[in-house]
Amino acid sequence: MGTQIDLTGKVAVVTGVLGRLGAVWTDALLGAGADVVGIDRSVTVPPLLEETLSRHPEHRFQLLKADVTETDTLRAALDSCLATVGTPEILVNNAGIDQPPNTSGDSWRFGDIPAEVSASILDVNALGVLKTCQVFGAEMARGGAGSVINIGSLYGSMAPDPRLYEHLPQDPPFIKPPAYGMSKAGVAALTRYLAVLWGGQGVRVNTLSPGGVLGGQDAAFRGKFSDRVPLRRMAEATDLTGPLLFLASDLSSYVTGTELLVDGGYVCW
Ligand SMILES: NC(=O)c1ccc[n+]([C@@H]2O[C@H](COP(=O)([O-])OP(=O)(O)OC[C@H]3O[C@@H](n4cnc5c(N)ncnc54)[C@H](O)[C@@H]3O)[C@@H](O)[C@H]2O)c1
């Protein structure tokens, strides 16, 4: 992408690295020269990440198995990271679960959403970020430098528009789980908390909140969503990399505790 940002010599940890955006963050960080330590629940590299890694033949990437809801696995991953590449200075808290309409046939009326569905979303998306910060972020604070980037969402600030899903055949009609936006609003609150806690120790903490990112959505959804966005389109992966590198690098040296919405202006109207 022709960036001038140089992260050579820095160790970046990316959670949820095997997912769609995990590959995007990895591509950007490797391209800027960072060593990337990816964390996920499995160690099977999917084609998307494989293809990303092949674009960086000199890549310094390792994949560690850990679950962001299990602190002991995160501690083991940190130990491995310290023993091989050293103290991380960039942490991208990206692991998350969502329930897009195309991944599951399940749909519920609001009052019937199973408690375990809500709990698991909050567990991974909110408490998982807290636990990862307790392990990796605290190590960065001990090291006296770093940038933590918590991946939030537009839906931490805005309610999902149910009309975007009206065309789907599910009965009852598909609704986004409310726990998703709750978890992402919680992430933005945690960002502010940690920005204050670690401000004196050289660690900055910010939220990067994407809007709708082009993926496997159906054409009707894409059309309705794009009409709702001032820039009239959904985000491409490459729309996200500049904001990530800005927050990861010294370009944002006086930016902490904030939420950078990368949403094409969705919240403006
Ligand atoms: N794709 C979008 O349109 C979009 C928009 C806004 C925000 N986001 C956020 O971006 C992040 C990444 O989204 P994505 O689209 O790449 O999702 P994805 O489902 O493709 O990938 C998520 C990854 O997180 C991993 N993961 C889940 N639970 C985990 C756990 N307990 N421990 C470790 N890893 C775990 C999964 O294995 C997966 O590899 C999420 O936090 C999501 O909420 C995505």
Give per-residue pLDDT as tens, 213-248. 999 999 999 999 999 999 999 999 999 999 999 999
On whether residue 4 sits in a domain, the answer given is no
What is the residue range of 118's domain? 68-268
What whole-number percentage of the chain has pLDDT above 70? Answer: 97
Count of structural domains, the chain: 1
Q: What is the pLDDT of residue 39?
A: 98
Which run of H or E residues covers position 121? helix 115-122
On whether residue 6 sits in a domain, the answer given is no
CATH code of the domain in which 178 resides: 3.40.50.720
* CB-ligand 1 contact for 71 (6 Å cutoff): no
Beta-carbon contacts of 53 under 8 Å, excluding residues fewer than 6 positions away, are 26, 30, 45, 59, 61
On whether residue 199 sits in a domain, the answer given is yes
Q: Is residue 1's pLDDT more than 50? A: no
Residue nearest to atom 41 of ligand 1 (CA): 96
Q: What is the pLDDT of residue 99?
A: 76
* CB-ligand 1 contact for 213 (6 Å cutoff): yes
**Paired tokens of 7:** 């992260």
Where does the pLDDT of residue 2 fall: very low under 50, low under 70, confident under 90, or very high at 90 and above? very low
Closest ligand 1 atom to Cα of 42: 37
Q: Is this model's pTM higher than 0.95 or not?
A: yes
Q: What is the pLDDT of residue 101?
A: 67
Once rounded to an integer, what is the mean pLDDT over residues 161-170? 92
* CB-ligand 1 contact for 97 (6 Å cutoff): yes
Once rounded to an integer, what is the mean pLDDT over residues 5-12? 97
